[in-house]
Homo-oligomer: A and B are copies of this chain.
Amino acid sequence: MHREQRDQTHQYLQSHGIGRALLADPANITWLSGVPQPWRAGSFLYAGGPSLLWYEDGHYTLIMMDGHAAAAGNFAAQPDCTLITYTGYAYLEQPAGARLLLEALREVVRGSGQATLGVEMQAVPAAILEGILAEQPPAVNVVPIDGGLVPMRMIRTAEEIAIMRQNFELIAQAQAVCPMAVQPGRTELDVWHAIHTALQSAAGETLFLGNDCTVGRRGGGPAQAVKIMAGDSFIVDLSTIWQGYWSDSCVTYYATEPTPEQAKMHRATADALDLAISLARPGAICRDIDQAVRRFLSGRGYPTYPHHTGHGIGVVGHEAPRVTPHSTERLEPGMVIMLEPGIYEPGVTGVRLEHAVLIGESGPELLTHYDLNLPD
C-alpha cells in the first residue's frame, strides 16, 4: 500500500540530507500512507490537531486519533510503517486530544537521532513544532519541506490509477442523472439533490460532493433555489473524494432544445476539448496546450475563458501540473489531468465541458466516460 510513494520520498529526503521529517499536510499523508484523511475542517473538540506522519531513515510512523483510525486499514501491517493512535472522544474524562497527540509524537521523536529535521512548516501547528523542538538540542537543523513532494505526486502509481478509475466511474454515474433532472421549472437545488443521491447510491456510502451546479447564465457556483427556465443551459461540474482521491468532471446540459447559438457554442467547446485531449501527450508543455485551446476558441469568434484550461488531480482536487497560459510543466506518462475549456456569456448562457485524461506512453486515455457531443 503506497510503498512506491514512501520509497521515492525516502530517496528525496536522503538526497537533501534530511534524516528525519515531520509531515502534517493531509494530502501528503494520504499519498504516503494510502490512509484517507478527514475532509471536514474547522475546530474539532476531540482530535486536537491534524494527523501527523513522522519519517525517520525510511520508516514512517502515522499518528491519528483513534476515531479516525478505522480508515488506516492494513497500513500498520507493512514493514516500513507504524501506526499510533491516541484517544480523541472521551466522556468519563476531559478530552485531551491536543496533549495526547503531542505526547505521542514526542515519544517517537525522543527515540530518534540528531539528523537534520524536515518539517512541513505550513501544515504543522506551531504548538507541535515547539513541543518537539523543546526536547531537541538547540543546534538542530530544521528545514522546511513544504511542496517538496508535489512534483513526485504528479506521476500516479498503478494503485492510485485503479482508485481514480473507480472514482471517475462514480462521478460519471452522478452525471448520468442530469439529462432527466435538468428540466424547466425545477431548481438548481433539485438537480443537485438528484446528483448527490445518485452518487451516494452508486458508492453505497455518504460522500463529499463539490463544485458547480447552476444555470449557464450564472456561469457556475453552488446550487441555489434558482428556477431553470426554457432556453437555459446548465453547467454541472462535479467532484467527489473517494478513498482519499479526488474526481472531477463537467458536462453542460440544456433545459430545452439548445438554440442554434447554444449548439454552436457547445460544439466549439467540445471541439476545443477534443483539441486539448489530442495534445495531452508525453513531452507536451502545459502552456502550449492552454494557448492552443484559447487560440482555437478565439478563431471561432468566442471570448477566452477566465480560468485555467486544466489541472492535475489526485490527493487534492487541483494540483500540479497546471494547464495555464504560462505553465512550463511538461506532461509525462502516468499523470492524470483534467481539461475544461468553456465559453461564457454572463447573464445569458454558458458552456463548460471537461474530461479526465491519463497521459499514456502512446497518448491520452479518457477516464471520464460520458458523451459530450450534442445529438446531430
Contacts and interface: CB of A to CB of B under 8 A. Distances in A.
A87 interface: no
Interface stretch (A200-208, A260-268, A273-281): A200-208
A146 B325 CA distance: 43
Dominant SS among interface residues on chain A: loop
A26 B45 contact: no
Q: Among the interface residues A92, A127, A319, which one has the most CB atoms of the partner chain B within 10 A?
A: A127
Interface residues of A, number: 62
A5 interface: no
Q: How many copies does the complex hold?
A: 2
B146 A127 contact: yes
Nearest to A101: B122
Interface stretch (A32-40, A74-82, A230-238): A32-40
A189 to B, nearest CB: 6
Contacts of A121: 125-127, 130
A170 B318 CA distance: 33
A243 interface: no
Nearest to A126: B129
A26 B42 contact: yes
Contacts of A325: 91-92
A168 interface: no
12 contacts: A26-B43, A28-B43, A39-B40, A43-B315, A91-B322, A91-B325, A98-B122, A121-B125, A125-B125, A125-B126, A193-B193, A205-B223
Which 7 pairs from chain A and chain B are nearest by CB? A41-B41, A121-B127, A27-B43, A204-B225, A126-B129, A193-B197, A91-B308
